[in-house]
Structure 1
Amino acid sequence: MSFKLHRDPPFRVEQVGSFLRPDELLDVRHAWEDKKASVDELHKAEDKAVDAVVKLQQDHGYHGINDGEYRRHMFWGSFWPNLEGMKEVVGPDPEIFRRYIPDVGAFLEKNHKPGETVICEGKIKHCAAASKGHIEQLQYLQKIIPKEKHGDIKLTIPAPTWYHLRYKQGSAYPSSAYENDDEYFEDVVTAFQIEMQVLFDHGLRNVQIDDPNICYFCNAQMIKDFDDDKLNKGTADELFERYIKVYNNIMEKCPEGMHVGIHLCRGNFVKSRHFTSGAYDRIAVRLLQNLDVHTFYLEWENDRSGGLEPLQHLPKNKNVILGLVSSKFAELEDLDKTVARVYEAAKWVSKGSGQSEKESLNQLGVSPQCGFASHSSGNAVTWDDMLNKMKLVRDVADKVWPGEA
């Protein structure tokens, strides 16, 4: 599962997800939301923007090409709301949420109500409607990218844990559908297994799962609040272990030849709002050694993420993409200092594996720490800021791995 040059993911340079939406696209999307533009007009604006952002990535030497998430309002897209048994709810009752979960707490500040969520109402089943958005996004990229480069295409999908942790015990699903978490996650796992196979059958070979929940288990306050909550059946650590099992059960039926990565995010909301802090140290051994994906996309752009020491627990058959460049703020990181951090990361990998530092570099790549616009409104950066960050990531990789993708 180590790097292969140029054609097979993961690549030395990666974009973790979204790009800033151009104003022209946002204008049409807002007009469509206000019923002042048609669906056809929206699709044309999306197509034009995707064409441009694909060229942008190619011009900057990026190979894991995505569509900027330009057809989505939020990073999680339309998969969960369209599963059988799930329903999108606007203005949900705040009392169904665990208020100490970092993103929920942020949304409920000053008594604000969450704008929308997705709630389980019955047995969860995969269906064609759930795949529709992913397939359309993939097929358009296949249409505009030469066939010999279709293996470069990367699609981001939401996490299987996303609509579980946030809800109070007893609120994640009705008792009429599931007696316990084991039953619930059995159907969630099946739905994700089917989705991975559907996407593989449509030609996708590179998928990135976006999971902000996992980083919450680095947050000491969240752990304490969870364990103090008398409603919960079990501890936060026990739930963390369950989530790892969910991923591993999904991976048991991962199509051979499908590269699967997981991005752990500490929050990336409107105007660069983050939700949580905490170093990986607390979960590093269990995460890196027990969660069976090919690649971890990890954030290390500032002190909120701690040091690089957890990389000593990385097994030889897994990769880490180092999110060393902030997508949240305009200040440009120093090239030489960022290069030095890549070499520091290799030292920690080497210390744990017994490989040389040069061999350890083969398990690493570099990226912005998160997308530039997980929410369509974007981060506190300009278009030029984004281009500067993209160039910096490419320059770092060219210094560390000259001549590689």
Structure 2
Amino acid sequence: MSAPRNPPFRAEHIGSLLRPDELVKKRYAVAEKSTPPEELKPIEEKAIKDIVKLQEECGIHSITNGEHSRHQFWGTFFETLQGMEEINLREGGYDQSIFRAYAPDVKSFMHAKTVPNQVTIATGKIKHTGTSSFLPEFEYLKTLVPESEWKNIKLTLTSPSWYHFRYGPKKAYVDGAYQNDDEYFADVAEAYQTELKILYDAGLRNGQVDDPNLAYFCSEAMLEGWKNDKENFQTAEEQLDAYIKFYNQCLERPSDFHLGIHLCRGNYINSAHFAEGAYDNIATKLFNNLNVSTYYLEYDTPRAGGFEPLKQLPKNKNVVLGVVTSKFPELESQKEMVERVHKAADYVAEGSGSSREEALKRLSVSPQCGFASHAEGNSLSHEDMRNKLKLIRSIADEVWPGQA
């Protein structure tokens, strides 16, 4: 079986795009209850129209709403599930000991003497309500592009383990809600399946799961912390295996639903990252055992390692090479980026016993992550972002002339 194509397209981006200041300020004002909620929607819709136009002008075919309808990249999927509660909103808050102190994002928050917001855990049995928090994003995007292009719209989705990994063993749920991870995973998977069916029935055919957590298993610092945590009842490798099995339960889908997964090492305010480490630790299992068609991989700096793990890529899967940074304004050399794409293709070819030309058929190019995983966005301007997207298009046109 050959790898799917269109989507992914040769020139891709990861989903989030810089929000206009007016939108950011208005959303904060609504959150602080200093502005009525109804004032947000027209500003949000205008921002989405503008960001769709920008993508089209830059030659991007996997259109997203720039995540302009969200404050943070993961959206509100878990918060809208029955049984899930934002315990940070409780009077008296919560006990910080529930966190894995060595989880890369948690470690960074604690170093800054803050804690993650949306501290969401299961306080009862998890069940989908039948109402999707992602569906309105898709439905509005459908009004902005021709019906013939609805299949290209890309919706970014929450990592299944987002509210599991950051908490210590059996702390993603309270006593009485679940006895073990298997029970918790089963209910999350059923809710995820309901979500995907709602979106599929509405016409979605291109999804991307945003998942920093699997990339954290590349971090030697995280793995050392895991090893030294006496509360852990399984090794890090066993947890990775459990996650892959869990993800596969979540991600069952019809054959015409293209689904990819984005792995990076964090993308936070002021262009910070949370972790480092090459894909070598997880490549074999990631590429061969996880039921997705496309991997959107961070590859803009040495912290992500080399292309050698791409030798493990099966012939029926794609990789989108995130060789252009979305964190800083300096524009990469197109010549150097084309050379990097060819170098990556050589490793794919070596692993599959094929030619560079054959390997290139399974590759695309993109920025390494979104430009605004969180509301404030990265340390670059809107014009810088436009130039980066145009560069992605130019790289793709040079490597794959005439292909979308």
User: For residues 211 and 177 of structure 1, what CA distance do their matches in structure 2 show?
Assistant: 25
User: Contact (CA 8 Å) 1:330, 1:380: kept in 2 or not?
Assistant: yes
TM-score (norm 1): 0.96
Name the residue aligned to 1:15.
13
Name the residue aligned to 2:162.
162
User: Contact (CA 8 Å) 1:92, 1:115: kept in 2 or not?
Assistant: no
- Residues 1:391 and 2:394 aligned together: no
Of stretches 32-41 and 371-380 in structure 1, the one that deviates more from structure 2 is 32-41
Q: Secondary structure at the match of 2:85?
A: strand
Of stretches 306-315 and 25-34 in structure 1, the one that deviates more from structure 2 is 25-34
Equivalent residue in structure 2 for 1:106, among 105, 108, 116: 108
Amino acid at match of 2:124: G
Name the residue aligned to 2:124.
122
Amino acid at match of 2:61: H
Q: CA offsets, 1:320-373, max 9 Å, x none? A: 000000000111111100000100111000001011110110100000000000
User: Contact (CA 8 Å) 2:153, 2:206: kept in 1 or not?
Assistant: yes
Name the residue aligned to 2:257.
258
User: Contact (CA 8 Å) 1:66, 1:154: kept in 2 or not?
Assistant: yes
Equivalent residue in structure 2 for 1:38, among 36, 39, 46: 36
1:109, distance to aligned residue in structure 2 (A) = 1.1
User: For residues 32 and 160 of structure 1, what CA distance do their matches in structure 2 show?
Assistant: 28
Equivalent residue in structure 2 for 1:97, among 83, 96, 99: 99
Dislocated runs of 4+, deviation >6 Å: none
What does 1:321-336 correspond to in 2, within 5 Å?
321-336=320-335
User: For residues 112 and 324 of structure 2, what CA distance do their matches in structure 1 show?
Assistant: 32
Segments of structure 2 that go 5 or more residues without pairing to the other structure are: none
Name the residue aligned to 1:206.
206
1:110, distance to aligned residue in structure 2 (A) = 4.6
- Residues 1:236 and 2:236 aligned together: yes
What does 1:372-383 correspond to in 2, within 5 Å?
372-383=371-382
Q: CA offsets, 1:60-106, max 9 Å, x none? A: 11000000000100001111101111012335421110100000011
Q: Secondary structure at the match of 2:164?
A: coil
User: Contact (CA 8 Å) 1:16, 1:369: kept in 2 or not?
Assistant: yes
Of stretches 156-165 and 175-184 in structure 1, the one that deviates more from structure 2 is 175-184
- Identity across matched positions, percent: 50
1:30, distance to aligned residue in structure 2 (A) = 2.8
User: Contact (CA 8 Å) 1:92, 1:113: kept in 2 or not?
Assistant: no
Name the residue aligned to 1:192.
192
Equivalent residue in structure 2 for 1:81, among 79, 82, 86: 79
User: For residues 35 and 172 of structure 1, what CA distance do their matches in structure 2 show?
Assistant: 30
Aligned length: 399
1:175–1:335 Cα change, 3 Å: same
User: For residues 391 and 170 of structure 2, what CA distance do their matches in structure 1 show?
Assistant: 47
Name the residue aligned to 1:66.
64
Name the residue aligned to 2:345.
346
1:224–1:173 Cα change, 3 Å: same
Name the residue aligned to 1:51.
49
User: For residues 340 and 300 of structure 1, what CA distance do their matches in structure 2 show?
Assistant: 13
Name the residue aligned to 2:316.
317
